[in-house]
Amino acid sequence: MFNIVLFGPPGAGKGTQAAKLVETYNLVHLSTGDILRAEMKKNSPLGQEVKSLIEKGELVPDKIVIELIRENLNNNKTAAGFIFDGFPRTVEQAKSLDEMLQKESLNIALMTTLEVEEEELIARILLRGQSSGRADDSDQAIIKNRIKVYNEQTAPVAEYYRQQGKHVSIGNMGTIENTFSQLKTHIDKVK
Ligand code: C5P
Ligand code: MG
Q: Identify whether the C-beta of residue 8 lies closer than 8 Å to the C-beta of residue 145.
A: no
Q: Helices 140-149 and 118-132 meet at what angle, rounded to 10?
A: 120
Model pLDDT, residue 69: 97
In angstroms, what is the span from residue 55 Cα to ligand 2's centroid?
15
Does the bond joining 61 to the residue before it have cis omega, within 30 degrees of 0? no
What does the pLDDT look like over 81-95, one tens digit per residue? 999 999 999 999 999
Model pLDDT, residue 152: 98
All structural domains of the chain with their residue ranges: 2-178
In angstroms, what is the span from residue 57 Cα to ligand 2's centroid?
13
Q: Identify whether the C-beta of residue 12 lies closer than 8 Å to the C-beta of residue 121.
A: yes
What does the pLDDT look like over 11-66, one tens digit per residue? 999 999 999 999 999 999 999 999 999 999 999 999 999 999 999 999 999 999 99
In angstroms, what is the span from residue 8 Cα to ligand 1's centroid?
12
Model pLDDT, residue 134: 93
Full-model pTM: 0.97
Cβ neighbour number for residue 158 with a 10 Å cutoff: 19
Ligand 1 binding pocket includes 84 (Cβ within 6 Å): no
Ligand 1 binding pocket includes 8 (Cβ within 6 Å): no
Q: pLDDT confidence of 97, banded at 50, 70, 90?
A: very high
Architecture, CATH, for domain 2-178: 3-Layer(aba) Sandwich (3.40)
Model pLDDT, residue 155: 98
What does the pLDDT look like over 151-183, one tens digit per residue? 999 999 999 999 999 999 999 999 999 999 999
CA dist 68 to 29, 64, 140, 147, Å? 14, 6, 29, 23
Cβ neighbour number for residue 140 with a 10 Å cutoff: 10
What does the pLDDT look like over 140-149, one tens digit per residue? 999 999 999 9
Model pLDDT, residue 67: 97
